[in-house]
Amino acid sequence: MSTVQVPGVQRVEMFPAPSAPLATGVPLFLGLAAQGPVGMPQRLDRWPQFSELFGGSPELGSLAAAVQGFFANGGEVCHVVRLDEAVDPVVAVQAALDASATLEDVDLVGVPDASRLRRPGELPALEPDPVRVQTIQRAVIDHCELVETRVAILDSIPNAGQFAVLEQRRALTSSNATLYYPWILVQGAADTPPAFVPACGHVAGIYATTDREVGVQKAPANKAVTGALDLEMEITDEIQSNLNPVGVNCLRAFPGRGIRVWGARTLSTDTAWTYVNVRRLVLTLRRWIAATMTDVAFAPSDARLWGRVSRELTAHCTELYPRGALKGATPDQAFVVRCDASTNTGAEPGRVVAEISLAPRLPNEFVVVYIVYEAGGVSVVGPSDSIQ
């Protein structure tokens, strides 16, 4: 600001910088590493930082492959915690989750080494203990539900057939969790052969890319998995017809189209939260409210405050509408915000209640095309066309 030389009222034009967008597609990875700090989250914004902090030795586990797969598939920022191998695996995972609870940008959680963790002194087993894996994954789910803004990206047990995956899924139920199957084959480090690894890191990268290109309202599916050479199990239509309805997201190999994420469901039994993009839309809205409206705390609860809350929530939902996050011919059909005397009648002292109703768009999971054979030839019509 230049020095004012003349007494009186002076006009100064200022152009404040726009607020930074809310970060999404930022995962927290927990796993094994050769070196580096134990139990404390480390922020990475490029793949080479991993070896600088945690060293190599990919034979220890799948953490390195997950982080590399995340960046290869378009991820930009992640947090990594090296687990403490001197304690019980469940204790180590819980401690790492607790240490990460205050990270405001994290909205995804993966434990690529869930099937490899073992107790101190315990020899490696040929097959992972499914009960231990489920206990670890349950701890991650409980964490995501407690924090209320995160989604767990869980992996199937290695070498599992469809019935083993179904058994694993029965032990895991949450609207804040997803399960991906099967493991993928990736190129090993220098002088090491390709190896099968869980897909959570690669899938998290696809989440991040989809968020950046479209938004959390877009299902993170039908994207080719960069770095995936093959699948541990071939997934057929018959197999997926058993897994998809219960929320197991399959990775499929399609000739000429590569290996793709071919599912976008949560592990919820509530049909309102069947699709992960719908759940993440609401969780992200919750994060935005927490980050944007904390300054209204301790303000007098009256019509002026209700009006302000209503205006800010309406403005944010109005921004979501043209992005394709909500359905409806007009914004009025896409959402309703209420924060007035009707929502605050009988509210507890010191508490303001706002009500938001959203109509999120659902992914077109099934596209049906009818082929009609007629005397004059063959015609192809969509499901909305009438067939006489």
Residues 302 and 293: their CA atoms lie apart, in Å, by: 16
Same domain? For 61 and 149 the reply is: yes
Instruction: Give the model confidence (pLDDT) of 115-140 as tens digits.
Output: 999 999 888 777 899 999 999 999 99
Same domain? For 236 and 346 the reply is: no
284 found inside a domain: no
Which stretch of 52-56, 165-169, 188-192, 291-295 has the lowest confidence by average pLDDT? Answer: 188-192
388 found inside a domain: yes
Q: What local confidence, expressed as pLDDT, does residue 62 receive?
A: 93
The CA-to-CA distance between both ends of the chain, in Å, stands at 75
Per-range mean pLDDT, top range of 6-20, 35-49, 298-312: 35-49
Same domain? For 142 and 242 the reply is: yes
183 found inside a domain: yes
Same domain? For 107 and 248 the reply is: yes
% of the chain residues with pLDDT over 90:
66
Q: What local confidence, expressed as pLDDT, does residue 212 receive?
A: 96
Is the pLDDT assigned to residue 386 strictly greater than 60? Answer: no
% of the chain residues with pLDDT over 70:
89
Is the pLDDT assigned to residue 18 strictly greater than 90? Answer: no
pLDDT interval class at 385 (50, 70, 90): very low
The residue out of 278, 308, 337 marking a domain boundary is 278
SS3 sequence of the chain: CCCCCCCCCCCCCCCCCCCCCCCCCCEEEEECCCCCCECCCEEECCCHHHHHHHCCCHHHCCHHHHHHHHHHCCCCCEEEEECCCCCCHHHHHHHHHHHHCCCCCCCEEECCCCCCCCCCCCCCCCCCCHHHHHHHHHHHHHHHHHHCCCEEEEECCCCCCHHHHHHHHHCCCECCEEEEECCEEECCCCCCCCEEECCHHHHHHHHHHHHHHCCCCCCCCCCECCCCCEECCCCCHHHHHHHHHHCEEEEEEECCCEEEECCCECECCCHHHCEHHHHHHHHHHHHHHHHHCHHHCCCCCCHHHHHHHHHHHHHHHHHHHHHCCECCCCHHHHEEEECCCCCCCCCCCCCCCCEEEECECCCCCCCCCEEEEECCEEEEECCCCCCC
Same domain? For 267 and 331 the reply is: no
Q: What local confidence, expressed as pLDDT, does residue 367 receive?
A: 67
Read off the pLDDT of each residue in 9-16 and give the average, rounded to a whole number. 69
Give me the phi and psi of 28, to 5 degrees please.
-110, 125
The residue out of 223, 250, 278 marking a domain boundary is 278
Read off the pLDDT of each residue in 211-228 and give the average, rounded to a whole number. 96
Instruction: Give the model confidence (pLDDT) of 251-267 as tens digits.
Output: 999 999 999 999 999 99
Q: What local confidence, expressed as pLDDT, does residue 8 receive?
A: 76
Is the pLDDT assigned to residue 384 strictly greater than 50? Answer: no
Is the pLDDT assigned to residue 382 strictly greater than 70? Answer: no
Structure tokens at 76: 């930009």
Same domain? For 179 and 322 the reply is: no
13 found inside a domain: no
Q: How many structural domains comprise the chain? A: 2
Residues 131 and 165 sit within 8 Å (Cβ to Cβ) = no
The residue out of 251, 278, 305 marking a domain boundary is 278
Residues making up the chain, counted from first to last: 388
Which residue range forms the structural domain that includes residue 44?
27-278
| Spacing of C-alpha 249 from chain mean position | 13
Same domain? For 227 and 308 the reply is: no
2 found inside a domain: no
Which is it for the CA torsion 68, 69, 73, 79, positive or negative?
Answer: negative
Angle at 100 between CA 99 and CA 102, to 5 degrees: 100
Is the pLDDT assigned to residue 379 strictly greater than 60? Answer: no
The neighbouring-strand residues paired with 28 are 79, 109
Same domain? For 258 and 316 the reply is: no
Same domain? For 270 and 300 the reply is: no
Same domain? For 175 and 273 the reply is: yes
* Higher local confidence (pLDDT), 19 or 280: 280
Is the pLDDT assigned to residue 276 strictly greater than 50? Answer: yes
Domain with residue 173: its CATH number is 3.40.50.11780
Instruction: Give the model confidence (pLDDT) of 138-151 as tens digits.
Output: 999 999 999 999 99
Same domain? For 107 and 240 the reply is: yes
18 found inside a domain: no
pLDDT interval class at 387 (50, 70, 90): very low
pTM of the model: 0.89
15 found inside a domain: no
Pairing relation of β-strands 355-358 and 27-31? unpaired
257 found inside a domain: yes
Read off the pLDDT of each residue in 230-240 and give the average, rounded to a whole number. 97
Q: What local confidence, expressed as pLDDT, does residue 153 receive?
A: 98
pLDDT interval class at 160 (50, 70, 90): very high
Instruction: Give the model confidence (pLDDT) of 83-104 as tens digits.
Output: 999 999 999 999 999 999 999 9
Same domain? For 70 and 202 the reply is: yes
